[in-house]
Structure 1
Amino acid sequence: MNPTEARPFRSPRYDVVDALRGVAMVWMTIFHFCFDLSHLGLWRQNFLVDPFWTQQRVMIVSLFLFCAGLGQSIAWAQGQTWARFFRRWLQIAGAAVLVSIGSYLMFPQSYIHFGVLHGIAVMLVIVRLTSGWGNWLWLAGLVAILSPWAAQMWLSGAGENWAGLMNGRALNWLGWITQKPITEDYVPVFPWLGVMWWGMAAGQWLQRRRSDWLSVKVPKSAGWLSLMGRWSLSYYLLHQPILLGVLSALIWVMK
């Protein structure tokens, strides 16, 4: 048997895409480090209201979801099977469950019931099913991004019953709400599906028109960003327990 036949085929990875995801990981780590300092009383900041922090969160989540859509466009173009898609999907869904359990132990009154991993798990299925929409993905993304504002306008005149229904936990994961839920992380399907759709659309455009951009080699000095991007899910799950553990240990030692 030819040795090459004994090894399963591996689709090529694009270092520049992994590095972009790595940038999001570094940015997220800095953000969470600052959040942990505030949570532990070392540096008081208002992460719920201060535009400096709220806008950073929006940009970090946007970069994450754009990269998820971009990565899905590459996987789809490389002929990723549904079986392989769902193997990865199960990892993300399982990680989302772990985040909910861990956040409940730390923040029982505001635990994460639909955060970024929950949102990614739902949105990936939708993006996969709509991957053949081509250029219509740009318009679909715009509609998705604008839909929460349209929903707020409608709910404001639809009465308290409708608003209460959409604001409840059974449906607030859609994002068509008038009042944000009390939770440590909230990434509903709308408007965020629009960002992932744009990532898918951008990836398809790049592969049709500028495939050489995807093949750009990342400098060796930035290779660690690509490595982080390749292990993004594991890093996401581990970085906060490590950060909180280290900071808590330092506080205990300094007492």
Structure 2
Amino acid sequence: MARLDRLDRIDLLRAAAMLWMTAFHFCFDLNFFGLLQANFYRDPFWTWQRVAIVSLFLFTAGLSQAVALHQGQTWARFWKRWWQVAGAALLVTASSFAMFPNSFVTFGVLHGIAVMLIIVRLTAGWGAWLWWLGAGAIALKFAAPLAMTDWPALEVLNATALNWLGLINRLPITEDYVPLAPWLAAMWWGMATGHWALRHRPQWLGARDAKSTGLRRGLVTLGQWSLLYYLLHQPVMLGLLWLATSFL
């Protein structure tokens, strides 16, 4: 099976999302240990950062899928990577249950990515419709609560088993929540952008396996190992903060 080449600017974009996420989570952890006073659930300063970070993650995932398909990625290779993401999502659920038993993660960013990757892969050939599908995913997010006002039967969509759709008018109690509506829009638009760039501006996506040095090389490497970093960064930061506060 031929190895797929990576384009360094996509990895750089993913690395930027990772670093921003790390800073965000570090502040969240400081708040958890009582070293910072902030409301990460209601303060727009924090909630809009989360929106931007998740959007960037999903957009780069869509870009990567466009490149993978362009390079002839097989379904076998796709499923190999998909199982890694799905397994990591289960680890997040288990670890969050240990730390937040009353608000553990049932459908967070990795769960969302796992489902969205399949949908985006199946719809990759829909061309310009991907832009409209993305707009539709966002519209559904706002239309569903309004529809529930006129059709109370739609309240069933608030059931925990259907939370992954995002068609709700009551947010579930969870530490991370990335449902299909509206977040699928970011990955669809990443896929559409990737298709357009590969046809018209391939240089914008970077060089294949570019031999970078120094800081750039480090950031590219971070982007390449984003899933492992995602799983490890919080336990490491929480452990270090626990040690620090224990000796204060």
Give the TM-score, by structure 2 length: 0.96
Contact 1:141 1:198 (C-alpha < 8 Å) held by counterparts: yes
What is the aligned partner in structure 2 of residue 33 from structure 1? 26
Q: Secondary structure at the match of 2:247?
A: helix
1:191 and 2:182 matched = yes
What residue is the counterpart of 1:88 in the other structure?
Answer: 81
Q: After superposition, where does 1:150-189 map in structure 2 within 5 Å?
A: 150-159=143-152, 161-163=153-155, 165-189=156-180
CA contact under 8 A between 1:72 and 1:200: conserved in structure 2?
A: yes
Residue 152 of structure 1: how far off its partner (Å): 1.3
Partners in 2 of 1:60 and 1:229 — Cα distance?
14
Percent identity (aligned): 56
Using the TM superposition, give the Cα deviation of residue 134 of structure 1 relative to its aligned residue in structure 2, in angstroms: 1.0
In structure 2, list runs of 5 or more residues that go unmatched.
Answer: none
Match of 2:206 in 1: 215
For residues 114-154 of structure 1, give each alpha carbon's deviation from its aligned partner in whole angstroms, at most 9, with x where no partner exists.
00000000000000000000111111111111111111111
CA contact (8 A) 2:147 2:154 kept: no
- 2:133 maps to 1:143: no
Q: Is the 8 A contact 2:10 2:206 kept in 1?
A: no
After superposition, give the CA deviation of every residue in 1:201-241 in whole Å (9 maximum; x if it has no partner): 00000000001212356674322111111000000000000
Query: Does structure 2 conserve the Cα–Cα contact (< 8 Å) formed by 1:145 and 1:195?
Result: no
Report the Cα offset of residue 70 of structure 1. 0.5
User: Computing the radius of gyration over CA atoms, which structure comes out larger, 1 or 2?
Assistant: 1
Aligned to 2:246: 252
- Supply the AA of the counterpart residue of 1:93: A
Within 2, Cα distance between the matches of 1:220 and 1:9? Answer: 28
Unaligned runs of 5+ in 1: 1-7
* 1:62 maps to 2:55: yes
The alignment status of 1:127 with 2:120, answered yes or no, reads yes
- Partner amino acid, structure 2, of 1:181: P
CA contact (8 A) 1:19 1:223 kept: no
User: Number of paired residues?
Assistant: 245
Q: Which amino acid aligns with 1:92?
A: V
State the Cα distance separating 1:158 from its structure 2 match. Answer: 1.1
Paired residue for 1:19?
12
| Aligned Cα root-mean-square deviation (Å) | 1.2
Is the 2:109–2:176 contact (alpha carbons within 8 Å) kept by the matching residues of 1? yes
How far does residue 10 in structure 1 lie from its aligned partner after superposition?
1.6
